[in-house]
Structure 1
């Protein structure tokens, strides 16, 4: 049984997204609807994990991310967030990701897929957008790069596990 907000178009699109993801997704990524204690599947909340890109400070980490879809999806983008206090210039303290492709006033289009969102977030990790800052860690990124790099490596070590889901 599937649970979540009512919304025929959203539910249909999410079912298509899930089917497409199962057939073809980037290596190391995980994205699946949340399972409830009663065995039902909540198609409107996906638990994901994003691997850090090779050759970056994020390499070796598997970072947990949640996608919350509304009944208005795909007309409206999902809410996308990391755990609270995730260390990145484009992630708010509460964990919400600041990325143009999931911003309804900037780059969101209904044709954007879960796969594109996750790849966009992965790219954002190692390539912060200095024009769309979400928190003060950008000051460290800009003024003390060694400290920023050390803090990112420490965070990557905390997430150096495939047991996030």
Structure 2
């Protein structure tokens, strides 16, 4: 017969291993908090519209319109973070590698729809981001933390920085 202490250790190890395999519910960030400004050559753009690209969508990130983002007369915009309850299989490190893509799209009255920025966020690391967008200065993406190069090397028009 086993002594009480080793038997208790065995029961505890068995309980911990069973708990590790049970999906748990936790809150995940589905999009970051953002404050930003959209300009053209340093000036506000009359008639500009911003929207979040809808995922999953077509291969082009700004072809499917998701949520519309209001833009003030001075070009500033913001949105609050969105969080959702989701289940995870890793209670000690939930979703460490699970990430979410957020595309900010700019509908310019003369230039059409442009990719503002593609943000790649780890869902369990809530962050706030500052976006400075100027449609007169395209770049090839990857500028600032949490940004990724857009599909097919398309230019992006926003630079991302961690908000203070």
Q: Which TM bucket (shorter chain)?
A: under 0.3
Relative to its length, the structure with more helix (as a share) is 1
Relative to its length, the structure with more strand (as a share) is 2
Higher relative contact order (CA 8 A, sep 6+): 2
Larger Rg: 2
> TM-score, normalising length from structure 1?
0.26
> TM-score, normalising length from structure 2?
0.26
